[in-house]
Amino acid sequence: MSALFTPLRVGALELANRIVIAPMCQYSAVNGCMTDWHLIHLGHLALSGAALLTIEATAVLPEARITYADVGLWNEATEAAIARTLESIRRWSDMRVAIQLAHAGRKASTEVPWKGGVQIPPDHANGWQTVAPSAIPFRDGEHPPVALDRSGLIRVRAAFVAAAQRAARLGIDAVQLHGAHGYLLHQFLSPLSNRRDDEYGGSLENRIRFPLEVFDAVRAAFPADRAVTMRVSGTDWVDGGWDIDQTIVFAQALETRGCAAIHVSSGGLTPSQQIPVGPSYQLPLARAVKRATRIPVIAVGLITGFEQAEAIVGTGDADLIALARTILYNPRWPWHAAAHFSEHVKAPDQYLRSQPRQYPDLFDIGH
Ligand SMILES: Cc1cc2nc3c(=O)[nH]c(=O)nc-3n(C[C@H](O)[C@H](O)[C@H](O)COP(=O)(O)O)c2cc1C
Angle at 270 between CA 209 and CA 134, to 5 degrees: 45
- Collect all residues with Cβ–Cβ distance below 8 Å to 276 and sequence separation of at least 6: none
Pocket test for ligand 1, best of 55, 265, 302 (most atoms within 8 A of CB): 265
Listed residue (115, 270, 87) closest to 187, CA to CA: 270
| pLDDT at res. 367 | 45
The pLDDT value recorded for residue 366 is 52
Indicate if 183 belongs to the active site: yes
H/E stretch holding 85: helix 76-92
CA-nearest residue for atom 7, ligand 1, is 24
The string of DSSP codes covering 210-247 is: HHHHHHHHHHHHS-TTSEEEEEEES--SSTTS--HHHH
CA of 265 to the centre of ligand 1 (A): 9
* 271 contact partners, CB below 8 Å, separation of at least 6: 138, 139
Choosing from 52, 325, 328, 330 the residue with most ligand 1 atoms within 8 A of its CB, the one to mutate for a pocket test is 325
Tell me, what amino acid is at 35? T
27, 68, 183, 200: the catalytic one is 183
Q: What is the pLDDT of residue 334?
A: 98
Question: Counting atoms of ligand 1 from 1, which one is nearest the CA of 231?
Answer: 11
Residue nearest to atom 23 of ligand 1 (CA): 301
Determine if ligand 1 sits within 6 Å of the CB of residue 176: no
For 332, phi then psi, to 5°, come to -100, 25
Whether this prediction's pTM lies above 0.85 is answered by yes
Tens digit of each residue's pLDDT, the chain (367 residues): 899 999 999 878 999 999 999 999 999 999 999 999 999 999 999 999 999 999 999 999 999 999 999 999 999 999 999 999 999 999 999 999 999 999 999 999 999 999 999 999 999 999 999 999 999 999 999 999 999 999 999 999 999 999 999 999 999 999 999 999 999 999 999 999 999 999 999 999 999 999 999 999 999 999 999 999 999 999 999 999 999 999 999 999 999 999 999 999 999 999 999 999 999 999 999 999 999 999 999 999 999 999 999 999 999 999 999 999 999 999 999 999 999 999 999 999 999 999 999 999 999 875 4
Q: Is the CB of 323 under 6 A from ligand 1?
A: yes
Check residue 12 and give its pLDDT: 84
**Looking at residue 173, what is its pLDDT?**
98
Q: Tell me if 320 sits within 8 A of 290, measured CB to CB.
A: no
Per-residue pLDDT reduced to its tens digit, 192-228: 999 999 999 999 999 999 999 999 999 999 999 999 9
Q: Ligand 1: which atom is nearest the Cα of residue 57?
A: 8
Q: Given the CA of residue 326, which atom of ligand 1 is nearest to it?
A: 26
Distance CA 132, CA 113 (A): 21
Return the residue whose CA atom lies nearest to atom 14 of ligand 1.
24
Please report the atom of ligand 1 found closest to the CA of residue 56.
8
Cβ of 301 closer than 6 Å to ligand 1, yes or no, is yes
Three-state DSSP class for 82? helix
Give residue 364's pLDDT. Answer: 86
CB of 24 within 6 A of ligand 1: the answer is yes
Closest Cα to atom 18 of ligand 1? 324
Instruction: Give the integer Cα–Cα distance in Å for 128 and 121.
Output: 6
